[in-house]
Amino acid sequence: MAINESIIELPDNVRITVLDKLVSWCRSYSLWPMPFATACCGIELMATGASRTDISRFGAEVFRFSPRQCDLMIVAGRVVMKMMPVLQRIWQQMYEPKWCISMGACASTGGVFDTYSVVQGIDRFIPVDVYVPGCPPRPEQLIQSIIDLQTKIRAEDTMFGREFDAPTRQQAKRALQR
Ligand code: SF4
């Protein structure tokens, strides 16, 4: 039959995939974090890069302090209102596609600092992809959040940016910066 004649036998060592999946897979294993560490959670973030947990096993060890070279914002620690314009500006300077991990109770909810001067959750101002609970979270939890984010990136059809269809996704939820 004609349909069988068009089938090509591939050797066992040849794999085929769709380009979209390949791009998403590459992106998930080449995350470059932008650390925004303001308090004690930052110490756990630093420990995540040490030999015990070794974040480089997941392709995410290239910490950069220039937002133009990063695609993963990790907010570790409490953020006060005076810092929020800086955080928003760095987030908006990062190129798409980009992702955000909120590390610890303070970054995610304000933690024990239930006061007007502390941001009661950074997701009120910038989008967050993964939350890491704890005070402080252990490095293993941050590793798990990176694994979860990688799974999300591979499922999101990154090449065409369909996950960013929501027009508000990359915009400041509330503009503090001038
Ligand atoms: S969550 Fe706990 S460890 Fe992390 S910044 Fe807040 S008080 Fe410090």
Ligand 1 atom closest to the CA of 135, numbered from 1: 2
Higher pLDDT, 122 or 18: 122
Cα dihedral 81→135→102→111 (10° resolution): -40
Count the domains in the chain: 1
Is residue 131 in some structural domain?
yes
Higher pLDDT, 2 or 95: 95
The model's pLDDT over 125-137, given as tens digits with 9 standing for 90+, comes to: 999 999 999 999 9
Is residue 113 in some structural domain?
yes
Higher pLDDT, 175 or 51: 51
Is residue 138 in some structural domain?
yes
Distance 109 CA to ligand 1 centre (A): 11
Is residue 61 in some structural domain?
yes
Is residue 51 in some structural domain?
yes
Which of 10-14, 20-24, 53-57, 64-68 has the weakest average pLDDT?
A: 10-14
The model's pLDDT over 87-126, given as tens digits with 9 standing for 90+, comes to: 999 999 998 889 999 999 999 999 999 999 999 999 999 9
Is residue 132 in some structural domain?
yes
CATH number at residue 134: 3.40.50.12280
The two three-digit tokens of residue 126, written as one number: 């910038």
Residue 10 has pLDDT above 80, yes or no: no
Ligand 1 atom closest to the CA of 112, numbered from 1: 7
Distance 59 CA to ligand 1 centre (A): 26
- CB-ligand 1 contact for 135 (6 Å cutoff): yes
Distance 110 CA to ligand 1 centre (A): 9
The model's pLDDT over 74-89, given as tens digits with 9 standing for 90+, comes to: 999 999 999 999 999 9
- CB-ligand 1 contact for 127 (6 Å cutoff): no
pLDDT computed for residue 1 by the predictor: 44
Distance 104 CA to ligand 1 centre (A): 6
Is residue 178 in some structural domain?
no
Alpha-carbon gap, residue 63 to 28, rounded angstroms: 15
Distance 42 CA to ligand 1 centre (A): 9
pTM here is 0.83
Ligand 1 atom closest to the CA of 78, numbered from 1: 5
Is residue 170 in some structural domain?
no
- CB-ligand 1 contact for 37 (6 Å cutoff): no
Domain limits for position 45: 17-160
Kindly give the pairing relationship between strand 99-103 and strand 72-76. parallel
Nearest partner of 68 among 28, 30, 103, 34, judged by Cα? 34
